Amino acid sequence: MTYLPIAALVFGYLLGSIPFGLLLTRAAGLGDVRSIGSGNIGATNVLRTGHKGLAAATLILDALKGTAAVLIAEHFGPGLGLWAGFGAFAGHLFPVWLGFKGGKGVATYLGVLIGLAWPTALVFAAVWLIVAIVLRYSSLAALTAAIAVPVALWFQASPQVAALFAVMSVIVFIKHRANISRLLSGTEGRIGAKG
């Protein structure tokens, strides 16, 4: 049975590696989303194409791949969702199909959270919305929510789920290090700002 966690991890990774942002923008005739903005494949960069619908679709699909990985793996055994969820998150960050250069993982992080502990996903959404509305920085909203989630999970879920999200939150911070530098220097772009 020791192969099951590894199988769940690999399954989640392959599912998470699907680059929906890149696929959607190419299908819409917009070229390679990696050639604009931050160069990432996530919803925030897709939004820079000016197509809100594609950005929303990317956000939903990137989240759903995390949720699907968790729910499908849990069907085969308790605890496998943790492995598959982390695999999906890692797959989005480091997709094998794109030379291991992916997105920053926030939507997939949220999708995994929905699959493992959906009440805490409401905490994520509330924190993100408050920070985004008040300060208008998407990156700061995501980082603040990534701090709140492991703390909330400590009270709302198992220690294993809280520990997984503590690790994932650290990775989210690492992937956002350029955003953090821009936030500190006052050059980070605000939500709705041009250019």
Q: State how many domains the chain has.
A: 1
pTM of the shown model:
0.94
CB-based contacts of 84, cutoff 8 Å, min separation 6? 8, 9, 11, 12, 15, 69, 70, 72, 73, 74
Domain assignment of residue 149, yes or no: yes
Residue 54: inside a domain: yes
Distance CA 166, CA 142 (A): 14
**% of the chain surpassing 90 pLDDT:** 83
Please check whether residue 118 lies inside any domain of the structure: yes
Range of 18's domain?
3-185
- pLDDT category of residue 1 using cuts at 50, 70 and 90: low
75 falls within a domain: yes
| 195 in any annotated domain | no
Confidence at 145, pLDDT banded by 50, 70, 90? very high
What b-and-e string marks burial along 86-111, b requiring 16 or more CB atoms within 10 Å of the CB?
Answer: bbbbbbbbbbeeeeeebbbbbbbbbb
pLDDT (mean) for 89-103: 95
- What is the DSSP code string of 67-136? HHHHHHHHHHSTTHHHHHHHHHHHHHHS-GGGTT-----HHHHHHHHHHHHHHHHHHHHHHHHHHHHHH-
Tokens 């989303």 belong to 33
Confidence band, pLDDT 50/70/90 cuts, at residue 39? confident
- Residue 71 counted as domain residue: yes
Residue 127 lies in a domain: yes
Q: Which amino acid is at 175?
A: K
